[in-house]
Amino acid sequence: MTERSVLDWLADQPGVVGLGDDCYIVPGPMEDQVFTTDMFIEGVHFKTGQAPEWIGHNALARGLSDIAAMGADPRFCLVSAAFPSDDEAWTRRFFQGLLKLARESGCVLTGGDLSHTDRFVADIMVCGVVPRGLALRRDGAKPGHGVYVSDALGTRARDRFCSLVKPRLDLAQSIRGRASACMDLSDGLSIDLHRLCLASGVSATLSAVPVAPGATEEQALHGGEDYELLIVSPVQIPDTIRIGSIVAGTPGVISYRGTVLEPKGYDHFAT
Ligand SMILES: [Mg+2]
């Protein structure tokens, strides 16, 4: 079982719509709403004993990153969480970390569920809004468009349990109405760009990938958890770094400095 095999099967089932983008888009008369949901699990997304404020921050940050990838602004979130102990101080610190990021992002907490379990797990749904018709999907990349990233890559592949995720909501306004496709880099550049190119039916050639200080080129190309934005645009996007171009060719094929780049990023089920 791979994440892809499950998603491909689900997409073919009756009653399933809208899989494949960072958020599901609900059209409205003035603005569209976008929805995403992400889990945060002890032992998978963080290590037992990490600061609860860090856990709360990063649990919400993953959803906010998906909102940014749509070119949207967050509005509200719902948090369902199960806690392994009745340590109320720990629980409050988790929510303090989450709410600090929510307030900084213009997002309010409007509901959810609390429960008890043997190891911490949370699922956070975030809703955002974007002017009608401007939400960015993965299927709009066209040959000739540039490929951009919002910053150097590889930092969190090196040290994913340390740094706070900074969702790139600061770029949402400048990419909507300009970019042709976008997604956030959660699983690694090589696999995420492969997915975007598959959705758009195009290939890409990369010339230079910016490597974060202390990271390796391998980590920048294939390491996950960057939560920077991967943007395709016919025009230059301010404060981003151009790494290559979209070209016509076999959908999903990425070449890097003349050789094919295998999609080697993170799969939750691969062993
Ligand atoms: Mg995403």
Q: Is the pLDDT of residue 43 over 70?
A: yes
pLDDT tens-digit readout, 201-257: 999 999 999 999 999 999 999 998 899 999 999 999 999 999 999 999 999 999 999
pLDDT tens-digit readout, 132-169: 999 999 999 999 999 999 999 998 887 778 789 999 99
Q: Rounded to the nearest whole angstrom, what is the distance from the C-alpha of residue 229 to the centroid of ligand 1?
A: 9
SS3 255: strand
What's the burial of 142, exposed, middle or buried (CB within 10 Å: 0-12/13-18/19+)? middle
Can you give the pLDDT at residue 270? 61
Rounded to whole angstroms, how far apart are CA atoms 65 and 57?
A: 12
Provide φ and ψ at 108, rounded to 5°. -115, 150
pLDDT-based confidence at residue 269 (cuts at 50, 70, 90): low
Can you give the pLDDT at residue 271? 46
Q: Rounded to the nearest whole angstrom, what is the distance from the C-alpha of residue 50 to the centroid of ligand 1?
A: 24
Can you give the pLDDT at residue 18? 86
Q: Rounded to the nearest whole angstrom, what is the distance from the C-alpha of residue 101 to the centroid of ligand 1?
A: 18
Tell the residue number behind the tokens 């569920």, with chain if given: 113
Q: How many CB atoms lie within 10 A of CB 223?
A: 26
Are residues 127 and 110 in contact, defined by beta-carbon separation less than 8 angstroms?
A: no
Q: What mean pLDDT value characterizes the chain?
A: 94
Can you give the pLDDT at residue 159? 75
Q: Rounded to the nearest whole angstrom, what is the distance from the C-alpha of residue 86 to the centroid of ligand 1?
A: 32
Q: How many CB atoms lie within 10 A of CB 72?
A: 32
Q: Rounded to the nearest whole angstrom, what is the distance from the C-alpha of residue 186 to the centroid of ligand 1?
A: 6
